[in-house]
Amino acid sequence: MSSKSCAKCGRRMEEGFTIDAGDYSMPSVGVWHRGKPHKSFWGLKTVKADKHEIVAWRCTSCGYLENYAP
Ligand SMILES: [Zn+2]
């Protein structure tokens, strides 16, 4: 995917990513996780195999975001 056009207005979209920053952690790339969130004492329970980093395309004209988690 090197170029895409917006599903809403047809203009050019640019590739990017979402930033996921916890209270005390360094910023990291936002991830999609399979299933429903399970909270524990330590925070959110996550399974590495069920996580996918999110690629977010943003329309340069209307700002529409399209997310992919390959
Ligand atoms: Zn657009």
Q: Note the pLDDT tens digit of each residue in 23-59.
A: 777 888 999 999 999 998 888 899 999 999 999 999 9
Q: Is residue 6 part of a domain?
A: no
Residue 12 has pLDDT above 80, yes or no: yes
Q: Is residue 2 part of a domain?
A: no
Q: Is residue 30 part of a domain?
A: yes
Using the mean position of ligand 1's atoms as its centre, give its distance from the Cα of residue 70 in Å: 22
8, amino acid identity: K
Closest among 56, 66, 67 to 8, alpha carbons compared: 66
Using the mean position of ligand 1's atoms as its centre, give its distance from the Cα of residue 53 in Å: 23
Q: Which two tokens stand for residue 37?
A: 């969130």
The residue-averaged pLDDT of 3-25 equals: 90
| Whether 5 contacts 14, CB under 8 Å | no
Our count of domains for the chain comes to 1
Using the mean position of ligand 1's atoms as its centre, give its distance from the Cα of residue 51 in Å: 28
Domain that holds residue 51: 12-68
Using the mean position of ligand 1's atoms as its centre, give its distance from the Cα of residue 16 in Å: 15
